[in-house]
Structure 1
Amino acid sequence: MTPPRSPSLTLRLTLLFALASAFVLFLLGLLIGNAVERHFEEQDLDVLNGKMQLARHILERDPGNQPNETLTQQLDDALTGHHGLIVAVYDQNGETLYANESMVFPQDLLTTRTTPRREQPFKWSTNDGLPWRGISSTVKLGTDGGSSYTVVIATEISHHEHFMTSFRQTLWGFMSLATLAMGLLGWFVVRRGLLPLLAIKRQAAEITANRLHTRLPVEAIPRELADLADTLNGMLSRLEESFQRLSDFSSDLAHELRTPVSNLLTQTQVTLSKARSAEDYRDILASNAEEFERLSRTISDMLFLAKADNNQIIPSQEPIDLAEEIGDLLEYYDVLAEEKSIALSLSGSGQIVGDRLMLRRAVSNLLSNALRHTPSDGGVTVQIDKYDDGLTRIAVENTGSEIPAEHLPRLFDRFYRVDSSRLRTTESSGLGLAITRSIVLAHGGNVDVCSTNGVTRFTLLLPTSPSR
């Protein structure tokens, strides 16, 4: 079953943009709504405080011996022209001293008997659903501090509530449309912003095995995607190099195997063309055996390199005296060196932990290669040095013609030869240096080559302690 695909980047960015816009607009709506409501509250409080000051002034001027009708008349005169405003005065026993209209006030508004002053607005709704806002305060009758009275002033705020309801509906409707518009705008912006990415996609889709040389134009790509383009170009460069090496390897392998197989086939066909003596058959079989041995060595080397490429080579860990091992190899090659009048020498000493047979093979490949390319009366020198950083160096130098600099990076490639004609010889299959590098890498080391001033030097850097 195919797993569900994740949402597109365009959809995710659009949703994030819309959510961010909705959050900002929501906070803005709350801020505006609270500000308008606070404005109306302050406006109502100004009116209520003004009437409270007027009522307090009237009550505090009362000497206390005037009839209630006089006080009632003064309060009525003060409230003339103020519709929707209710004023009530209660004595200490809760009896109504004055009320311009009948109103049942909430008990919380009448708590001035325990709280001397309550001038913060209190909001409530009556049974008929009308909203009110009011304040209350305790006033001493007369200037000599006579009886205390509770004055309650309230105003009906239904017009404010209607306005706020309509305002909130309009505000949140606008916010919803704005969020939708911001989402659509975000989708458009994201689509426009991702056009360079779509261009990269189209250009990458055009890259095939035959067009690995194509590169993405970094200069025409926004700065945020330039690193991605550089990474893709680097990947294409590595793929092109690997593909070219694989193509060259396939060609070289076919070339290496074609010659011995062709020789075997031709020689066998010629042998079978007519009857021959037993001695002739013996000579032909011996010649075929040499070709088969060469094929066997090539196939064995290829299997070794294939294991190395897949990290299947696990070197054994044993102490190795490099001077002793390399000295034995020099004795083995001494006869060949004498035939070509080549001087062999060894200097230095060192001990490492690794696979004895593998390291002998790696150094033997270097010595064989050096002897093959050293002219008569030349010299091959092996130098062993131990470094303080835990590395041991084995340098194999030989005199002779220098290797052109352009060939040095590819000397360790399989079947690679400096000779462009790639002539096949019985001495080399073109895999020795590649095997040497694989062995050194398996031991956690490195290999290098340089060729200057008539001297070619191959250097093996190996860790002294066992590799992990």
Structure 2
Amino acid sequence: MVAFSENSNGHAYTLQVAQDRSSDEQVEKNFALLFMVVLAGGVLASALIAIIVTRRGLRPLREMTQCLGRIGPNHLKEHIGSAAWPRELQPLTIAFDEMLKRLDDSFTRLSQFSADLAHELRTPIANMLGEAQVALTRDRTAAEYRETIESTVAECERLSRIVDNLLFVARVDAAREPIARKRFDARAAVQKIAAFYQTVADDHHVTISCSGDGQIYADPDLFERAVGNLLDNALRFTPEHGSIQIALSKHNTDFEVAVSDNGCGIAAEHLPRVFDRFYRAESSRGSDGAGLGLALVKSIVDLHGGSATIQSEVGRGTTVRLTFPLL
């Protein structure tokens, strides 16, 4: 209420102006109620819109999850593909496809490795079992029993070599094989290895020659094992009156060891896989071994951070080159 006082002609006048506010409280209550309704409606509408947008946005991920869920060990060759997915998910689908390809390759190699391992172990075990069973069919002389035992010992030694090589390659793959590098005379080390195999070479009328020299930075024991495997392999497939050359050469960043023979050679289609475990190009080239020699050599070179390459021509011979970093 507002009041005004005025004097006119000796008389006093008072003017009062008032407003009825009795309904203000009800208006405030109505406004508060309307505000709450609008707020609640806005929240619900926002939540509904968010759910719809989120579900729509996540639909490709659900479809991708279902697609991946259908892929099992026997369906690793299936691919998700990138063309049908939103642009934001295409890098993810490409990465998944590459991962599936690597897994498929690993499963294939593991299956082949298991089959080859079973085959390699089964052969000497079957030989030992067969010889023992034959020996027990009747009484034999001491010399015959000794021959059977010697044959069994040879098969056991073969099994032991296969297991030792497998364990070595497995330790290298797991980066658990210790390596003690040092500088040493490569020519002296190679001549020592050649002298060890000279008796076998003489029996086959094969000549072994060495050329080049220099200091190499490597683990001496592993170096001897790698070159020894190459030399053993070359002797196995070099004909009588053949020759094997071991060439040493030092380059700017690495040291190269090349072992060449003039044996039967390897067909071109086999060369990409000759460093795989248990892989043998032909039965004639692998009849005396388990197919682990070159795989072991490559593992040793990889452990040093080097590389192993092979060149071969059927009827002309094979050359395997090993490179070891200088530092």
Quickly name the TM-score band, shorter chain normalised. 0.7 to 0.9
Q: Tell me by how many angstroms 1:405 deviates.
A: 4.2
Q: In the superposition, relative to structure 1, how do residues 171 and 356 fare at CA in structure 2: closer, same or farther (>3 Å)?
A: same
1: CA distance between counterparts of 2:16 and 2:284? 119
Q: Tell me by how many angstroms 1:342 deviates.
A: 4.7
Is residue 353 from structure 1 mapped to residue 214 from structure 2 by the alignment? no
2: CA distance between counterparts of 1:437 and 1:414? 10
Q: Tell me by how many angstroms 1:261 deviates.
A: 0.9
The residue number in structure 2 matching 1:447 is 308
Is residue 365 from structure 1 mapped to residue 226 from structure 2 by the alignment? no
Q: In the superposition, relative to structure 1, how do residues 402 and 187 fare at CA in structure 2: closer, same or farther (>3 Å)?
A: farther
Alignment of 1:367-382 (within 5 A): 367-375=231-239, 379-382=243-246
Q: Which structure is larger by alpha-carbon Rg, 1 or 2?
A: 1
Alignment of 1:242-391 (within 5 A): 242-337=106-201, 340=204, 342-375=206-239, 379-389=243-253, 391=254
The residue number in structure 2 matching 1:397 is 260
Q: Tell me by how many angstroms 1:209 deviates.
A: 1.6
Q: Tell me by how many angstroms 1:273 deviates.
A: 0.8
> Cα deviations across residues 236-288 of structure 1 (Å, max 9, x unaligned)?
11111111111111111111111111111111111111111111111111111
Secondary structure of residue in 2 paired with 1:395: strand
Q: In the superposition, relative to structure 1, how do residues 218 and 347 fare at CA in structure 2: closer, same or farther (>3 Å)?
A: same
2: CA distance between counterparts of 1:85 and 1:406? 111
1: CA distance between counterparts of 2:190 and 2:160? 27
The residue number in structure 2 matching 1:13 is none
Query: 2:190, 2:227 within 8 Å by CA — same for their partners in 1?
Result: yes
Q: In the superposition, relative to structure 1, how do residues 282 and 172 fare at CA in structure 2: closer, same or farther (>3 Å)?
A: same
- The structure, 1 or 2, with the larger RCO (C-alpha pairs under 8 Å, 6+ apart) is 2
Query: 1:216, 1:233 within 8 Å by CA — same for their partners in 2?
Result: yes
2: CA distance between counterparts of 1:407 and 1:176? 74
Q: Tell me by how many angstroms 1:291 deviates.
A: 1.2
Query: 1:256, 1:424 within 8 Å by CA — same for their partners in 2?
Result: no
The residue number in structure 2 matching 1:193 is 57
Q: Tell me by how many angstroms 1:198 deviates.
A: 1.4
2: CA distance between counterparts of 1:323 and 1:211? 52
Paired residues, number: 313
Q: Tell me by how many angstroms 1:423 deviates.
A: 8.4
Secondary structure of residue in 2 paired with 1:457: strand
Give the residue type in structure 1 aligned to 2:78. T
Alignment of 1:117-156 (within 5 A): none
Q: In the superposition, relative to structure 1, how do residues 401 and 194 fare at CA in structure 2: closer, same or farther (>3 Å)?
A: farther
> Cα deviations across residues 317-371 of structure 1 (Å, max 9, x unaligned)?
3322111111222333345445555554433323233321111010111122233
Give the residue type in structure 1 aligned to 2:290. S
Give the residue type in structure 1 aligned to 2:270. H
Secondary structure of residue in 1 paired with 2:259: strand
1: CA distance between counterparts of 2:63 and 2:309? 42
Give the residue type in structure 2 aligned to 1:239. L
Q: In the superposition, relative to structure 1, how do residues 326 and 293 fare at CA in structure 2: closer, same or farther (>3 Å)?
A: same
> Cα deviations across residues 164-184 of structure 1 (Å, max 9, x unaligned)?
x95x98678546533432332
2: CA distance between counterparts of 1:306 and 1:349? 32
Query: 2:234, 2:263 within 8 Å by CA — same for their partners in 1?
Result: no
Secondary structure of residue in 1 paired with 2:319: strand
Task: Report the aligned-residue RMSD.
Answer: 3.4
The residue number in structure 2 matching 1:463 is 325
Greater displacement, 367-376 / 275-284: 367-376
1:432 aligned to 293, 296, 314, which one? Answer: 293
Give the residue type in structure 2 aligned to 1:463. P
1: CA distance between counterparts of 2:267 and 2:48? 63
Query: 1:347, 1:382 within 8 Å by CA — same for their partners in 2?
Result: yes
The residue number in structure 2 matching 1:75 is none
2: CA distance between counterparts of 1:381 and 1:442? 25
Give the residue type in structure 1 aligned to 2:211. S
The residue number in structure 2 matching 1:241 is 105
Q: In the superposition, relative to structure 1, how do residues 456 and 278 fare at CA in structure 2: closer, same or farther (>3 Å)?
A: closer
Give the residue type in structure 2 aligned to 1:357. D
Identity of aligned residues (%): 37
The residue number in structure 1 matching 2:9 is none
1: CA distance between counterparts of 2:55 and 2:255? 58
2: CA distance between counterparts of 1:320 and 1:299? 30
2: CA distance between counterparts of 1:334 and 1:452? 25
Alignment of 1:155-166 (within 5 A): 166=31
2: CA distance between counterparts of 1:447 and 1:424? 20
Unpaired runs of 5+ in structure 2? 5-13
1:415 aligned to 260, 272, 278, which one? Answer: 278
Is residue 203 from structure 1 mapped to residue 67 from structure 2 by the alignment? yes
Give the residue type in structure 2 aligned to 1:317. R
Query: 1:316, 1:354 within 8 Å by CA — same for their partners in 2?
Result: yes
Query: 2:310, 2:318 within 8 Å by CA — same for their partners in 1?
Result: yes
Secondary structure of residue in 2 paired with 1:227: helix
Secondary structure of residue in 1 paired with 2:197: helix
Query: 1:314, 1:442 within 8 Å by CA — same for their partners in 2?
Result: no
TM-score, normalised to structure 2, is: 0.81
